Amino acid sequence: MKRKIFFCFIILCSVIVCFAQERTTMWPYKYSEFTDGTVYLKDGKTLSVPLNIHLLKSALHYLDKDRIKEATSADIEFVQIGFDKYRMVNKQLMFPLVGDSTGYVAELLLADLEALQESGGAYGSASNTQATRQLSSMEIGGVSRVNHIELKEKKDEGELLPLKIQYFIVTTDEVYPANQKEIRSRLPEEKQAAFKQFVKQHKIKWKQPASLFELLEFLKDL
């Protein structure tokens, strides 16, 4: 019971953080402001600067005076922004929901560009070709404009940015998308039947981190 309450609390906090503000194409960041944080590098060094997560690729951006710059993902071990701790996984910052250094379930928050294209935004056209063309030429905050002060002044002028959440199971050896077909494709033949039985027996729900945590134990044993 305590574990279920803990899972619910973590997920609720994540939802509050994700949707407490509206992101736009001119401010496609997870946080409403650049927040004091620390970058922990693989060579043991640290860097403490104002940080934010750019949701186009879940990349780490930081402030150098009034300029916004992108950190080199290959050098990063993990990042602390305020009270939130992120791991660099597959060159993207992911938020560990539950687990430890031997394995965890992680959440990836990204801008849903397909939804933006399909909706047409304020473009006045539902044509996917036209929407794609306009999206590619659109000003994206933190990419086409990197002056922090200017971007803050214009943060509400862009298109409303739809978001999507993806889950991953991270072990010391592999990173598995929370997708049954994808995981099966990576398993050796002799583990296929056991995996299928485990998923059925535990009634794994692929969009629920608490359920994915049970699957983590199976994958760690590999």
**Alpha helices for 53-203 (secondary structure H):** 113-119, 128-136, 148-153, 180-186, 192-202
For the residues 143-156, what does the mean pLDDT come to?
90
Question: In 3D, which of 66, 62, 63, 67 has the Cα closest to residue 79?
Answer: 62
Decide if 176 contacts 186 (C-beta within 8 A): yes
Whole-number Cα distances in Å, 21 to 27, 45, 86: 11, 33, 20
Q: Are 55 and 23 in contact (CB under 8 A)?
A: yes
Q: What pLDDT does residue 120 have?
A: 58
CB neighbour class for 95 (10 Å; exposed up to 12, middle 13-18, buried from 19): buried
> Residue 215: CA atoms inside 13 Å, Cβ hemisphere, count?
29
93 forms bridges with which residues in the sheet?
A: 88
Share of the chain above pLDDT 90, in %: 71
Task: Specify the residue for token string 């803050």.
Answer: 152
69-to-64, 106, 129, 149 alpha-carbon distances in Å: 7, 25, 31, 14
Asked if 176 contacts 63 with a C-beta cutoff of 8 angstroms, the reply is no
Q: Is the pLDDT of residue 7 over 50?
A: no
pLDDT of residue 119: 64
Which of 17-21, 35-39, 80-84, 163-167 is least confident? 17-21
Range with the lowest mean pLDDT among 44-48, 80-84, 144-148, 191-195? 144-148
List the structure tokens of 36. Answer: 């004091």
